[in-house]
Structure 1
Amino acid sequence: MAFNTRTKIKDLLKLAPEQQTVTVMGWVRTRRSNKHVTFIAINDGSCIQNYQIVADPAFIDEELLKKAATGACIKSTGKLVESQGAGQHTELIVERLEILGEADPEAYPIQPKKHSLEFLRENAHLRMRTNTFAAIMRIRHQLAFSVHEYFHRKGFFYIQTPIITASDAEGAGEMFRVSVLDPKNPPLNDQGGVDFTQDFFERETNLTVSGQLEGELAAMALSEIYTFGPTFRAENSNTTRHLAEFWMIEPEMAFYDAEDNQNLAEDFLKYIISQALLHCHDDLEFLDKRASEEEKNKKADQRNELSLLERLKFVIDNQFERITYTQAWEILRESTPNKKKKFAFPIDAWGTDLQSEHERFLVEKHFKKPVIISDYPKAIKSFYMKQNADGKTVAAMDILFPGIGEIVGGSQREENLDKLVRRMEELNISREEMWWYLDTRRFGTAPHAGFGLGFERLVLFVTGMGNIRDVIPFPRTPGNAEF
């Protein structure tokens, strides 16, 4: 029998029991037996529900049944009948059983019990067989699909920007070098530095931290584009919010100003979260219960006031509050936590960069809704952001979510060549190396704007997980590139 004749468990659960013959395949979660019958719960990843198959040892070889242990992969064909137990309305009475892949039940790491998330990170090659991580991956898929669907419907074009680049879009310098030179004995130039003219690209290159700059080039021809790809940052950070390899969604739009940019970002976030609620109900319900259990272990002042599902609906149902950085600074400066020195980073002089604790206070305590902060001090933002008329601020915006803080960052871009060049000179950014970027301001410049959304931050919010390493299949962090 061909393998593609199998019925997925998510489809099997919808069938009426009419003694029809079906074939189901999957991985054994649990097996229990007595003298008269063996019950095997399997899961094939198509949904969160396991499916029970029932085998009579009088008809199925007992040694074969023993091999259908936790972790094994099996193929079972039999009759679909009404279930005699609770939990599912049908079950499969096995007529033919085949072991596709054996597993030693004693050595198999993912046992039918509660495992710590740290243990599962150490076994990331198998952790997607658990309910939690399978649910996260299905939700991650739906979110990614919705990203493409949203922009396609709006007439945006998907552009694949380079992964290998010679520019540092963020200006932070925390980039992974790409080189084929001998690390033990690289060629040197006259100044004693590495001679990158002898490297593969004949210049120093790195893994990209952002596709934005190249995205701007595309927007200056196609009007509305988006990128969605892997980005990399060599920041030696072991926090629950940072990865060395992560995915970024970055739309760039010609003929958009700062307000248009905010409107698009709010609409975009509401759409993709609503699609997750619509298509991933069972997985989200499972993660909602899981999150509720986790909340019980937190201190009272650290608990979320809303459940996971309530937080998702909260974003969709509320208009995002829009304030300037100056208004946010004034609120934070006069807040009780700041006056009582409860903030780890006190709010004092105007121009202070806002931290996650400040952002979460604004969202969760003060406004009790998502917040968009605009018009940040020029000194703490990137060179490419449009300078406002006051000379102190730029047309930047961040979107803040409950439990996360900043989830989106963006701005109207500076289209004025003279202002852009002056700002680059202030920050010692080479005009010669960025000649191609400046050309878009020399030849047919246009007002334009864009934003970046860290995809894993979004998945973190939607799934209610507490560590960003748990929302990407194989996390890359300092000291960790095992799989």
Structure 2
Amino acid sequence: MDLKKLHADFNQLEKKEISIIARVRSNRQGKVVSFMVVNDGTHLNDLQIVYKTDVDGFEDAIQSRVSSIVEVSGILIITPGKPQPFELQASKIVLLDQAIEEYPLQKKEHSPEFLREIAHLRARTKTYNAVFRIRSSLSFAIHKFFQENDFVYVQTPIITSNDAEGAGEAFTVTTRNDDKYEQDFFGKKASLTVSGQLNAESYAQAFKNVYTFGPTFRAENSFTSRHASEFWMMEPEQAFSDLNGSIELIESMLKSVINYVFEKNLDELKFLDENQEEGLINKLQGIRNSEFSIMTYEEALKVLQKAIRDGHDFEEKDIKFGIDLGTEHERYICETHNKKPTFVINYPKDIKAFYMKLNSDNKTVAAVDLLVPGIGELIGGSQREDDYDKLMKRVKELGMSEEEISWYTDLRKFGYFKSSGFGLGFERLIMYVTGMSNIRDVIAFPRTPKNLLF
């Protein structure tokens, strides 16, 4: 029997013989009675085993070290008033595999920095077990939401010839030791994808509603707690839809996936609230129960300018049209001014991607960022430029290769009308939902500059 089933059915299993194979988390021995704590990985909470130290037949139990694998048989006893709802009074403990004494995860506090060095083991700790269990649920919840809303899941290429946003931060994929890409495997320069969005747009024109969800890569030499070289992106695209369609989709999607985590991972949320981020559950309840606000970029600037006049001390005080809002500005808007999740729309075209639709003022684009209390920007999206001439003008302004991007721009010649979508950095969502402060702690095996372990 596994631990998850025990936690689900323990009231019906009282005083019954139970057998479980699990890993030893601790083994505290007394003169007469000893206590072993085990976990088989199926549930966040452990199982306490009680056994008699002075009784023959428990030699295996006495010598079992932390992380060893044991098979335990015994009677399940309900324990009202104790931290754990039940325990197992062992009749037999068999040591199946003994861990070495130097096992690095002993029963003590370990820093996140140390645990990143042993990422192949850290999921055995309660914190990371909770984080990666929630990551699994969030991933499923995203697919569940879009499948139930008739979106087609499109697996877009990982190897590509464009970098989507023209930022020049793509990893080159090559079989050569020089830059003669015309002689390379694909006969041209290839790179790892930074986004599946452009490919998704083409499929949205065939299916109306599509989404991509997969790994993306950025060769950005950043060491911040919010950047990784390999991460996952979820990018839906809706044909025949404007920016308002994306705004409605973002809000309903975010509430849906958070509701799912509350349904499936309440134990993990409570643990992380107590041990990682105090107030985590209340923060997430604010997402579930709020009616999100909408304001324009220029309205946001006025709010920030007034805050400065009223004495608020921003690190960046030069608030004027054209600035890219910093995290401190975003958090002030959604935490202090609106006190709820906030959509900011209509950003200056010069700080946004080439494919975003130019508004009638010719200075802003139909872009949107969702700002949430605690971190600021969580999701970014836009309505796509449907006018071929305007799109090509932007491509030329940015010095992009017209030939390389022609397959994308030519979509506007073949019956396009309009399209909109957004991108959600999956790890950023996990950080928000779990309270973890570093992206390296929500990816199983993080890839960052100068770091390629495991």
TM-score of the alignment, normalized to the shorter chain, above 0.5:
yes
Q: 1:84 to 1:408 in 2, by over 3 A?
A: closer
* 1:257 matched residue in structure 2: 242
Please tell me the residue identity of whatever aligns with 1:173: G
Q: 2:283 aligned to 311, 317, 341, which one?
A: 311
Q: 2:201 aligned to 192, 216, 222, which one?
A: 216
Distance in 1 (alpha carbons) for counterparts of 2:287 and 2:80: 42
Distance in 2 (alpha carbons) for counterparts of 1:334 and 1:435: 45
Please tell me the residue identity of whatever aligns with 1:279: K
Question: How far apart are 1:434 and its partner, in Å?
Answer: 1.1
Stretch of structure 1 that moved more, 95-104 or 276-285: 95-104
Contact 2:30 2:53 in 1 (8 A): no
How is 1:176-191 mapped onto 2 (pairs within 5 angstroms)? 176-181=171-176, 183=177, 186=178
Instruction: Please give the per-residue CA displacement for 1:357-380, whole angstroms capped at 9, x wherever unaligned.
Output: 110111111111111000000111
Instruction: Please give the per-residue CA displacement for 1:202-244, whole angstroms capped at 9, x wherever unaligned.
Output: 1111111100000001101011000000001011111111111
| 1:284 lines up with 2:269 in the alignment | yes
SS of 2:103's partner is coil
Please tell me the residue identity of whatever aligns with 1:35: K
Please tell me the residue identity of whatever aligns with 2:207: L
Question: How far apart are 1:58 and its partner, in Å?
Answer: 5.3
Stretch of structure 1 that moved more, 38-47 or 95-104: 95-104
Question: How far apart are 1:277 and its partner, in Å?
Answer: 1.5
SS of 1:334's partner is helix
* 2:384 matched residue in structure 1: 413
Please tell me the residue identity of whatever aligns with 1:447: K
Please tell me the residue identity of whatever aligns with 1:52: Q
Question: How far apart are 1:292 and its partner, in Å?
Answer: 4.9
Please tell me the residue identity of whatever aligns with 2:256: Y
Distance in 2 (alpha carbons) for counterparts of 1:274 and 1:219: 27
Q: 1:478 to 1:86 in 2, by over 3 A?
A: same
Name the % identity: 46
Distance in 2 (alpha carbons) for counterparts of 1:111 and 1:85: 28
Distance in 2 (alpha carbons) for counterparts of 1:425 and 1:144: 38
Instruction: Please give the per-residue CA displacement for 1:57-81, whole angstroms capped at 9, x wherever unaligned.
Output: 4556444123322111222223323
Distance in 2 (alpha carbons) for counterparts of 1:36 and 1:351: 73
Instruction: Please give the per-residue CA displacement for 1:310-336, whole angstroms capped at 9, x wherever unaligned.
Output: 100011111111000110111112213
Q: 1:67 aligned to 60, 63, 67, which one?
A: 63
Please tell me the residue identity of whatever aligns with 2:428: R
| 1:359 lines up with 2:330 in the alignment | yes
* 2:401 matched residue in structure 1: 430
Question: How far apart are 1:444 and its partner, in Å?
Answer: 1.6
What's the TM-score, normalizing by structure 2? 0.96
* 1:45 matched residue in structure 2: 41
What's the TM-score, normalizing by structure 1? 0.90
Distance in 1 (alpha carbons) for counterparts of 2:385 and 2:78: 66
Contact 1:415 1:445 in 2 (8 A): yes
Q: 2:165 aligned to 166, 170, 182, which one?
A: 170
* 2:260 matched residue in structure 1: 275
* 1:19 matched residue in structure 2: 15
* 1:140 matched residue in structure 2: 135
How is 1:197-236 mapped onto 2 (pairs within 5 angstroms)? 197-236=182-221
* 1:298 matched residue in structure 2: none
Contact 1:60 1:96 in 2 (8 A): no
Please tell me the residue identity of whatever aligns with 2:6: L
Distance in 2 (alpha carbons) for counterparts of 1:52 and 1:85: 15
* 1:245 matched residue in structure 2: 230
Distance in 2 (alpha carbons) for counterparts of 1:333 and 1:70: 57
Segments of structure 2 that go 5 or more residues without pairing to the other structure are none
Distance in 1 (alpha carbons) for counterparts of 2:371 and 2:96: 48
Question: How far apart are 1:279 and its partner, in Å?
Answer: 1.5
| 1:114 lines up with 2:117 in the alignment | no
* 2:414 matched residue in structure 1: 443
Q: 1:454 aligned to 395, 402, 425, which one?
A: 425
* 1:88 matched residue in structure 2: 84
Question: How far apart are 1:482 and its partner, in Å?
Answer: 0.9
Distance in 2 (alpha carbons) for counterparts of 1:318 and 1:137: 27
Distance in 1 (alpha carbons) for counterparts of 2:274 and 2:283: 13
* 1:3 matched residue in structure 2: none
Contact 1:229 1:248 in 2 (8 A): yes
Contact 1:332 1:347 in 2 (8 A): no
Contact 2:28 2:34 in 1 (8 A): yes
* 2:346 matched residue in structure 1: 375
Q: 1:361 to 1:393 in 2, by over 3 A?
A: same
Stretch of structure 1 that moved more, 24-33 or 395-404: 24-33
CA RMSD of aligned residues (A): 1.7
Question: How far apart are 1:174 and its partner, in Å?
Answer: 0.8
Q: 1:390 aligned to 358, 361, 369, which one?
A: 361
Q: 1:89 to 1:357 in 2, by over 3 A?
A: closer
Contact 1:404 1:457 in 2 (8 A): no
Contact 2:61 2:95 in 1 (8 A): no
SS of 1:431's partner is coil
